[in-house]
């Protein structure tokens, strides 16, 4: 401890004295230091498998406070006899949803796996808890109930009610069914099988308890230092004053039945507190006041019956010692006290002659016989009260709705060996033998047989099969112990001793059984858990277990309906069939239990008692070794080690895991057309599980290690999550792909559209020239297009901006280029000088660049003032704009693109300008002064032409009749595939690979054992939306004509909604202002609707929206808009969806014929193309997920559960109006009968068997968003 203190000090001495920033404390190595695992948590991992090594491991762990250890899925629990603090809610939560390997061994782990398996595999589960008395079975059962109640959800009040009731059965049945014994202060004196029923949401909807063999002998007597059932002490210590008054209740020392064993109080048990809890439990379970009162009345009857004493009269017959006691008993039972007294002291006998009824005699009883009759009545009343309570509890917990599956918890009395063992021990031990049979059956025998049957490679393990002991007890032919008992009872029914003797004789027939020996008045049975010597005396009587007719007749006379209802079966004296004996009943109910358990998937808890003294420190190695041995833990480990942790039929395996292989599933549907075995094999192979981890049997698949099964389960859990992610990814890819396609189409279209426009202007120029002018070769080239604004004035180039500002115009520029203007010089010949020419729709501007770098507008010529244009018939580049007389004269211009310039001017003026073409060009030089320029062919001019003193020298050009070459066929460019998104097929959409057909959608198959699923009404596309888009959709051919604008929107034929409130949406959601009108696209029932506003879709909360009532349609519809031409282009941004604009951040995609990836040269950008690239508002439908519908998050609420049906009243007679016919007699003042030995015979067999001082023998398991996205993807795919 010292080092840890030191470390603690270091940690706290961190604050620095310097006052600087607080220093971060040094990480503590102890942090996250987990409790060290002691021994092995799963004993299949033991290196040597012997009883000793098992014991050693258990001891090490127990000493360390680790009471739980696994053998595979079997939990071994060693009673700690102290509170370990391991059942808190915090611990419980740690087991929720975890598989057994993720968390340390715990009873919660078993509960979790049973609950998980029930939900996941829809199989009934049972938890079988076995072990000696006091080993911790009941505790384990309670912990399982605690766990299930905590994790099984359901906020519904009826579900909560069931949970409360199930939990309340514990204090109630413990009060009536448990007692303090020498081994256990809270020993269950009955067996209990609790079944909790669940609906298909895994919520408890009901429960049922089956009760086994209450130890009723305890009611009338107990071994020294043991007690009667808890309820007697609770009632006598804490009864209310009214109860004391009505039922004559006194303290426990006043009653023989509660005080004879000299144990009224138990350390650690607070009877008063427990009584309150019992009453509360009765309340929770819904026992009415009347029912409760009747239960307490019967308890009082029993207590007072115990105080009835018999004295021996002179003739040896018994007499009631104090009739005030019997009077009070009569009052409590509401019968005539005299009748009661007679029934207690005499017995009516009937002689039989040859099967005919003979005479009837009253035979007086001696005190011993009378005592036994009285005790029989007390035991019968208590037993029937107990059974009534169980059936009443069951009535309250009746399933509220259809139950899908159940979990059973078996907490039964443990194996018992006393010094004096009687019929009760035989029954208890027999039931334990049967349970061991199930364990062997399911973990050892069946397992091994299954390997043989399924032809699985496997090494057999030897084990002891206790079937031979079960047969010894229960066989009919040859008769086993129970059968021999029955025979003895049948033949010698009158005299118990004679019957016992007859039993001894019959037992001798069993001596050939190696597990049986007779020894005089005893017999020995070698049980799986040890040898037990049974005393024969009284066995036949106990087996007969019938209340004498006289007492039953007395009860028949009672006016108490409740008491009457406790004894519904009156033996019919004419019925020859013998009533079932106690042996018959226990055999029958054990058989039913086994059958019940075998129908469910079992989990085992094997409890071990480390000592007989309830000590938290003593570990009795010998005792534990014995338990380890008879529990067969060693064999259990061996079988587990050699065997397979999990197996299931091929059908079940396929049903559970078909999602895990693409060969067996498609989009969540089962598609395997082969048989279940091949499907199962395919799944296991495709999941990549090592081949030695599984084997295929004949009908089942076997999985070696639980880890493998858990891995499969995890994969299955992730499947839906992955699917949702895949759909999202496919959707995003599809959106990106769509965008990319749109971008390419737009670009292609823009190019073509503009190209066509340019080509049109060029064609027009041919008409203008009309073969009158020789051509330059350059102008005939195919790629020469009339693009107009060569200086990119419209495109706001630097020069363009200057020119715009100098010209002082914001008009659209139709044409701009560099030119030369003939400038006349004073005294010298005129000379061409560089200028800029800008043509707008209204005017022609000539801008000069001064030597100082200044731009000045030299001329502005309104288009309307141009009368004609003069050009030569040769190939020179000169032209004159004839304006008529002006101050400056006509501009005489040299322009490389003169034909284009002329064409534009003609277009702009609607061809009002004359184009004069001839051998000379006439223009006005200044004012009225005209000049004629001659054009002379001069082949000596190498390039272009030359102006020299009123003449232009130019070489020959192409003939005037030449036509421009048609646009060159585009070279097959490199088409870059669309690489956005992994799901898109390689090669992109331009290369249909046919691979879409390679994996056609497989047809849905019915799951093995299920009926065929009706084929979908709508034929599914051949490939999923994204794939088909990727492979089969090639860009549409350029439209042959301009698209027809969409018709004006008609009144939408859709539901319109108005926003009731403003809503600020996140990405993917639709922001709304109050009163915004939106169109409904899709209703999703998770509370979010897909709506469209201004062509944009987004999710909006439905409760923000209000339906706008539709306007009645006008009677006469307006004339319909012209129908669109049939060949209307199907542009991607189909109305009303917004155009998809190019993404500025997108990488350029090569366009056929354009090497740099941009079809429009940078120096030539039209307004539309430039705004296109700048358009940052990427108008795509949002693909973001709605944040509020997280994957797997909001689970759909469970369907409403109908109102809780009122349980029908229990089968109990109506509350009688009047009670005791006679007035209540005074509570007897008689003291409790003297202790055993004086008058009263000692309780014959304590603990239902052992007579006084019997020392115990030494041993005793965002879909909605994904679905919505998938739906949308399909819708868009269809729309497109
Ligand atoms: N897990 C446990 N933790 C602490 N104490 C236990 C535990 N299991 C059993 N005990 C103690 O042992 C006693 C006997 O256990 P119980 O479950 O009644 O035995 P059984 O039902 O097997 O006869 C309990 O009353 C309790 O005091
Ligand atoms: Mg118990």
Considering 684, 702, 736, which residue would you say is the last residue of a domain? 736
Q: What is the full DSSP assignment across 252-277? A: GGG-HHHHTTS----TT--HHHHHHH
Tell me the torsion sign for CA atoms 595, 599, 600, 601.
Answer: positive
Tell me, yes or no, whether 919 and 811 share the same domain: yes
Look up 1051 and say whether it is catalytic.
no
Structure tokens at 125: 């589960």
**415 alpha carbon to ligand 1 midpoint, in Å?**
15
The question of whether 957 is a catalytic residue gets the answer: no
Q: What is the CATH number of the domain that holds 1079?
A: 2.30.30.40
Task: State whether 869 and 807 are in the same domain.
Answer: yes
Q: 1113 is written with which tokens?
A: 């349609």
My answer on whether omega of the bond before 597 falls inside 30° of 0, hence cis, is no
| Within-domain flag for 179 | no
- Find the ligand nearest to 129 CA: 1
Q: Ligand 1: which residue has its CA nearest to atom 15?
A: 136
Q: What is the overall mean pLDDT for the chain?
A: 78
The answer for residues whose C-beta is within 8 angstroms of residue 854's C-beta and 6 or more apart is none
Residue 1006 placed within a domain: no
Query: In 1056-1214, where do the E strands start and end?
Result: 1056-1059, 1077-1083, 1088-1093, 1096-1101, 1105-1107
Which ligand 1 atom sits nearest the alpha carbon of residue 132?
22
The pLDDT > 90 percentage for the chain reads 34
CB-based burial label for 1196 (10 Å; 0-12, 13-18, 19+): exposed
Shared-domain flag, residues 815 and 897: yes
Which burial class, exposed, middle or buried, applies to 972 when counting CB atoms under 10 A from its CB (0-12, 13-18, 19+)?
exposed
pLDDT in tens, 229-247: 999 999 999 999 999 999 9
Dihedral pair phi/psi, residue 232, rounded to 5°? -65, -40
Q: What is the DSSP letter of 1137?
A: S
Q: Residue 943 pLDDT > 90, yes or no?
A: no
Asked if 261 contacts 221 with a C-beta cutoff of 8 angstroms, the reply is: yes
Q: Which of 44, 53, 175, 188 is catalytic?
A: 188
d(CA 178, CA 174) in angstroms, rounded, equals: 5
By the 10 Å C-beta count (0-12 exposed, 13-18 middle, 19+ buried), 975 is classed as: middle
* Any domain includes 124: no
Report yes or no: 875 and 917 within 8 Å, Cβ to Cβ.
no
Asked whether the beta carbons of 522 and 534 are under 8 A apart, the reply is yes
Instruction: Give tens-digit pLDDT for 1134-1168.
Output: 334 343 333 433 333 333 333 333 333 333 333 34
> Higher pLDDT residue, 998 or 1107?
1107
Other C-beta atoms lying within 10 Å of the C-beta of residue 1128: 13
Cα angle, residue 298 at apex, residues 293 and 300 outer, rounded to 5° = 95
**1255 CA to centre of own chain:** 54
Statement to judge: residues 938 and 1072 lie in one domain: no
Same domain, 702 and 783: no
Q: Which of 1047, 1079, 1103 is the last residue of a domain?
A: 1103
Domain housing 658: 646-736
Of the listed ranges 70-74, 168-172, 884-888, the least confidently predicted one is 884-888
- Give the mean pLDDT of 381-389: 96
| 607 Cβ below 6 A of ligand 1 | yes
Residue 982 pLDDT grade (very low, low, confident, very high; cuts 50, 70, 90): very low
Higher-confidence position of 699 and 767: 699
Residue having the nearest C-alpha atom to atom 5 of ligand 1? 81
Q: Is the CB of 186 under 6 A from ligand 1?
A: yes
Contact (Cβ atoms closer than 8 angstroms) between residue 850 and residue 898? no
Q: Is 188 in the pocket of ligand 1 (CB under 6 A)?
A: yes
Contacts for 755 with CB less than 8 Å, ≥ 6 apart: 785, 967
Please work out whether the CB of residue 177 comes within 6 Å of at least one atom of ligand 1. Answer: no
| 69, 79, 412, 606, best to mutate for ligand 1 pocket (most atoms within 8 Å of CB) | 79
Strands annotated E in 676-752: 694-696, 700-703
Q: Do 808 and 869 reside in the same domain of the chain?
A: yes
Rounded CA-CA distance 1131/1035 in Å is: 10
Q: Are residues 806 and 724 in the same domain?
A: no
Q: Are strands 920-926 and 929-937 parallel, antiparallel or unpaired?
A: antiparallel
119, pLDDT greater than 70: yes
Instruction: Give 906's contacts (C-beta < 8 A, 6+ positions apart).
Output: 764, 768, 913, 915
Residue 94 included in any domain: no
Residue 1238 has pLDDT above 70, yes or no: no
Backbone angles phi, psi at 194, to 5 degrees: -105, 125
Residue 1072 lies in a domain: yes
- Order of strands, edge to edge, in the sheet holding 868-872? 855-862, 843-849, 828-840, 813-825, 892-894, 878-882, 868-872, 914-918
Decide: 1044 and 1125 in contact? Cβ < 8 Å: yes
Name the residue with the closest Cα to ligand 1, atom 11.
81
Q: Which secondary structure element, helix H or strand E, spans residue 54, and what is its range?
A: helix 51-63
Measured between its terminal Cα atoms, the distance across the chain in Å is 75
Cα maximum dimension of the chain: 181
In a domain? residue 875: yes
Residue 136 annotated as binding site: yes
- For atom 6 of ligand 1, the residue with the nearest CA is 81
Measure CA 863 to chain center.
79
Q: Tell me the per-residue pLDDT of 1118-1140, one tens digit each, with 9 for 90 and over.
A: 444 444 444 433 433 333 434 33
Same domain? 661 vs 564:
no
For 531-574, the pLDDT digits (tens) are 999 999 888 888 887 777 888 889 999 999 999 999 987 666 66
Q: Is 135 annotated as a binding residue?
A: yes
Measured CA to CA in angstroms, residue 966 lies from 209, 781, 783, 970, 1153 at distances of 97, 8, 8, 12, 16
Angle in degrees, CA 368, 374, 379, rounded to 5: 120
CATH number of the domain encompassing residue 558: 1.20.58.530
**What is the domain count for the chain?**
4
> Which token pair is 219?
């009611």
**Does residue 503 share a domain with residue 439?**
yes
Question: 764 lies in a domain?
Answer: no
Is the pLDDT reported for residue 372 higher than 50? yes
Report the percent of the chain where pLDDT is more than 70: 75
187 is catalytic: yes
Determine whether the annotation assigns residue 191 to a binding site: no
pLDDT tens, residue by residue, 782-837: 667 777 888 988 888 888 889 999 998 888 999 999 999 988 888 788 889 999 99
Whether 138 is catalytic is yes
Last residue of a domain, one of 536, 568, 600: 568
* 856 flagged as catalytic: no
Is residue 872 domain-resident?
yes
CB atoms within 10 A of CB 376: 18
Q: What is the pLDDT of residues 433-466, one digit of tens each?
A: 998 888 887 777 666 777 888 887 767 777 788 8
Q: Which of 181, 184, 603, 665 is catalytic?
A: 184
Q: Give just the sign of the alpha carbon dihedral 808, 811, 817, 821.
A: negative
926 in the same domain as 840: yes
The pTM assigned to this predicted structure is 0.57
For residue 796, give the CATH number of its domain.
2.30.29.30
Q: What integer pLDDT is reported at residue 1151 of this predicted model? A: 31
Write down the residue that tokens 């029934």 correspond to. 343
Q: What pLDDT shows up at residue 941?
A: 85
727 and 826 assigned to the same domain:
no
| Structural element, H or E, at residue 1259 | none
Contact present, 937 and 956 (Cβ < 8 Å) = yes
Find, among 1229, 1207, 1251, the residue nearest to 288 by Cα: 1207
DSSP 747-763: HHHHHHHHHHHHHHHHH
pLDDT in tens, 683-726: 999 988 888 888 898 888 888 877 788 888 888 888 878 878 87
Q: Is 296 helix (H, G, I), strand (E, B) or coil?
A: helix
Residues 782 and 907 in one domain: yes
Q: Which atom of ligand 1 is nearest to the CA of 143?
A: 1
* 525 neighbors 469 (Cβ within 8 angstroms): yes
Q: Is 134 annotated as a binding residue?
A: yes
What DSSP designation does 793 have?
T
Residue nearest to atom 8 of ligand 1 (CA): 136
Could you tell me which of 195, 191, 217 has the C-alpha nearest to residue 204?
195
> Does the beta carbon of 957 lie inside 6 Å of ligand 1?
no
Query: CB-side exposure of 82: number of CA atoms within 13 Å?
Result: 13
Atom of ligand 1 nearest to the CA of 137: 22
520 catalytic per annotation: no
Closest CA to 1095 of 1052, 1136, 1139: 1136
Contacts for 992-997: CB closer than 8 Å, 24+ residues apart: 992/1031, 992/1032, 992/1034, 993/1031, 994/1031, 995/1031, 996/1022, 996/1023, 996/1027, 996/1028, 996/1030, 996/1031, 996/1032, 997/1022, 997/1023
Ligand 1: which atom is nearest the Cα of residue 77? 1
Per-residue pLDDT tens over the stretch 2-58: 333 333 333 333 333 344 444 565 665 554 455 667 888 989 878 788 999 999 999
For 214, the token pair is 């209450």
CA nearest to 326, candidates 1254, 1267, 1233, 1100: 1233
């Amino acid at each position: 401890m010292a080092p840890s203190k030191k470390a603690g000090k270091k940690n706290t001495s961190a604050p620095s004295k310097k006052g600087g920033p607080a220093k971060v404390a040094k990480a503590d190595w102890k942090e996250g230091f987990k409790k060290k695992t002691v021994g092995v948590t799963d004993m299949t991992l033991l290196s040597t498998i012997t009883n000793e090594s098992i014991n050693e491991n258990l001891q090490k762990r127990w000493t360390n406070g680790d009471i739980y250890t696994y053998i595979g899925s079997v939990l071994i629990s060693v009673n700690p006899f102290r509170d370990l603090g391991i059942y808190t809610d915090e611990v419980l939560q740690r087991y929720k949803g975890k598989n057994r390997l993720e968390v340390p061994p715990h009873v919660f782990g078993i509960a979790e796996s049973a609950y998980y398996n029930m939900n996941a595999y829809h199989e009934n589960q049972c938890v079988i808890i076995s072990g000696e008395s006091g080993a911790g079975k009941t505790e384990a059962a309670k912990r399982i109930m605690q766990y299930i109640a905590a994790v099984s959800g359901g906020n519904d009040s009826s579900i909560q009610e069931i949970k409360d009731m199930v939990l309340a059965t514990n204090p109630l049945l413990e009060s009536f069914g448990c007692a303090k014994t020498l081994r256990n202060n809270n020993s269950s004196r009955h067996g209990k099988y609790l079944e909790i029923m669940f609906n298909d949401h895994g919520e408890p909807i009901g429960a049922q308890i089956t009760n086994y063999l209450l130890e009723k002998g305890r009611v009338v007597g107990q071994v020294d230092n043991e007690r009667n059932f808890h309820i007697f002490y609770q009632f006598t210590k804490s009864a209310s004053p009214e109860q004391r008054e009505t039922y004559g209740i006194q303290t426990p020392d006043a009653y023989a039945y509660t005080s004879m064993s000299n144990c009224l109080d138990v350390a650690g048990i607070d009877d008063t507190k427990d009584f309150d809890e019992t009453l509360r439990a009765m309340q929770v379970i819904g026992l009415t006041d009347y029912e409760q009162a009747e239960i307490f009345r019967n308890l009082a009857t029993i207590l007072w019956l115990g105080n009835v004493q018999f004295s021996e009269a002179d003739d040896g017959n018994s007499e009631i010692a104090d009739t005030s006691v019997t009077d009070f008993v009569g009052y409590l039972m509401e019968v005539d006290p005299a009748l009661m007294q007679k029934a207690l002291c005499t017995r009516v006998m009937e002689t039989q002659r040859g099967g005919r009824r003979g005479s009837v005699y009253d035979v007086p009883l001696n005190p011993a016989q009378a005592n036994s009759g009285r005790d029989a009545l007390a035991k019968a009343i208590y037993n029937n009260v107990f059974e009534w309570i169980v059936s009443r509890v069951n009535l309250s917990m009746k399933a509220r709705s259809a139950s899908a599956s159940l979990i059973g918890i078996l907490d039964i009395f443990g194996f018992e060996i006393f010094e004096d063992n009687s019929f009760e021990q035989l029954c208890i031990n027999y039931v334990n033998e049967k349970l061991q049979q199930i364990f062997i059956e399911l973990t050892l025998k069946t397992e091994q047989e299954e390997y043989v049957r399924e032809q699985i490679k496997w090494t057999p393990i030897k084990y002891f099969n206790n079937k031979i002991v079960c047969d010894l007890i229960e066989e009919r032919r040859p008769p086993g112990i129970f059968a021999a008992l029955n025979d003895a009872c049948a033949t010698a029914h009158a005299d118990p001793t004679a019957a016992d003797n007859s039993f001894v004789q019959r037992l001798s027939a069993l001596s050939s059984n190696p597990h049986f020996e007779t020894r005089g008045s005893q017999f020995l049975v070698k049980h799986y858990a040890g040898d037990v010597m049974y005393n024969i005396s009284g066995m036949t009587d106990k087996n007969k277990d019938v209340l004498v007719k006289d007492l039953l007749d007395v009860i028949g006379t009672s006016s108490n309906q409740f008491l009457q209802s406790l004894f519904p079966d009156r033996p019919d004296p004419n019925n020859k069939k013998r009533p079932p004996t106690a042996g018959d009943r226990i055999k029958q109910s054990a058989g039913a239990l086994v059958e019940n358990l075998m129908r469910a998937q079992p989990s085992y808890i094997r409890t071990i008692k480390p000592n007989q003294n309830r000590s938290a420190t003593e570990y009795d190695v010998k005792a534990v070794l014995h338990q380890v041995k008879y529990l067969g833990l060693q064999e259990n480990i061996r079988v587990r080690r050699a065997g397979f942790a999990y197996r299931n039929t091929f059908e079940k395996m396929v049903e559970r895991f078909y999602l895990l292989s693409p060969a067996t599933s498609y989009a969540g549907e089962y598609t395997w057309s082969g048989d279940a075995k091949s499907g199962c094999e395919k799944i296991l192979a495709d999941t990549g599980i090592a081949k030695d981890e599984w084997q295929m049997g004949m009908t089942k698949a076997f999985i070696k290690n639980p880890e493998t099964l858990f891995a499969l389960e995890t994969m299955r859990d992730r499947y839906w999550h992955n699917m949702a992610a895949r759909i999202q990814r496919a959707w995003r890819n599809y959106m990106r792909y769509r965008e990319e396609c749109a971008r390419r189409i737009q670009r292609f279209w823009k190019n073509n559209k503009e190209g066509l426009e340019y080509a049109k202007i060029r064609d027009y120029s041919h008409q203008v020239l009309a073969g009158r002018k020789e051509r330059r070769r350059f102008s005939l080239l195919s790629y020469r297009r009339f693009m107009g604004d060569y200086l990119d004035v419209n495109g706001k180039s630097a020069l363009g901006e200057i020119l715009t500002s100098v010209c002082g115009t914001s008009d659209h520029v139709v044409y701009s280029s560099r030119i030369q203007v003939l400038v006349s010089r004073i005294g010298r010949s005129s000379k061409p000088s560089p200028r800029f020419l800008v043509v707008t729709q209204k005017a022609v501007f000539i801008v000069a660049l001064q030597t100082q770098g200044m731009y000045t507008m030299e001329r502005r010529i309104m288009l309307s003032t141009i009368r004609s244009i003069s050009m030569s018939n040769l190939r020179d580049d000169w032209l004159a704009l004839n304006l008529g007389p002006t101050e400056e004269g006509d501009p005489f211009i040299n322009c490389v693109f003169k034909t284009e310039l002329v064409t534009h001017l003609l277009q702009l003026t609607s061809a009002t300008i004359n184009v004069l073409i001839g051998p000379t060009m006439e223009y006005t030089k200044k004012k009225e002064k005209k000049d004629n320029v001659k054009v002379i062919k001069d082949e000596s001019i190498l390039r272009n032409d030359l102006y020299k003193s009123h003449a232009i020298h130019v070489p020959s050009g192409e003939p005037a009749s030449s036509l421009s070459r048609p646009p060159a066929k585009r070279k097959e460019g490199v088409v870059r595939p669309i690489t956005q998104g992994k799901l898109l097929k390689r090669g992109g959409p331009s290369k249909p690979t046919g691979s879409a057909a390679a994996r056609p959608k497989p047809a849905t198959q019915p799951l093995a054992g299920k009926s065929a699923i009706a084929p979908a009404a709508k034929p599914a596309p051949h490939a999923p939306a994204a794939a088909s888009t990727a492979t089969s959709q090639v860009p549409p051919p350029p439209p042959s004509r301009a698209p027809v604008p969409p018709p004006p929107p008609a009144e939408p034929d859709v539901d319109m909604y108005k926003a009731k409130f403003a809503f600020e949406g996140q990405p993917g959601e639709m922001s709304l202002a109050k009163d915004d009108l939106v169109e409904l696209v899709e209703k999703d029932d998770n509370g979010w609707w897909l709506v469209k506003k201004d062509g944009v879709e987004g999710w909006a909360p439905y409760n923000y929206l209000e339906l706008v009532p539709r306007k009645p349609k006008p009677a006469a519809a307006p004339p319909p808009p012209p129908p669109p031409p049939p060949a209307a282009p199907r542009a991607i941004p189909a109305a009303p969806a917004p155009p998809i604009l190019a993404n500025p951040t997108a990488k350029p995609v090569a366009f056929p014929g354009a090497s740099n990836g941009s079809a429009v040269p940078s120096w030539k950008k039209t307004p539309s193309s430039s705004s296109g690239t700048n358009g940052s508002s990427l108008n795509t439908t949002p693909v973001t997920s709605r944040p509020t519908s997280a994957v797997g998050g909001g689970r759909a609420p469970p369907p409403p559960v109908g109102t809780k049906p009122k349980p029908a009243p229990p089968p109990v007679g109506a509350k009688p109006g009047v009670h005791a016919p006679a007035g209540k007699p005074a509570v007897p003042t008689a003291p409790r009968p003297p202790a055993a030995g004086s008058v009263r015979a000692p309780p014959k067999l304590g603990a239902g068997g052992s007579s006084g001082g019997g020392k115990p023998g030494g041993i005793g398991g965002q879909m909605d968003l994904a679905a919505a996205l998938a739906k949308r993807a399909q819708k868009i795919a269809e729309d497109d």
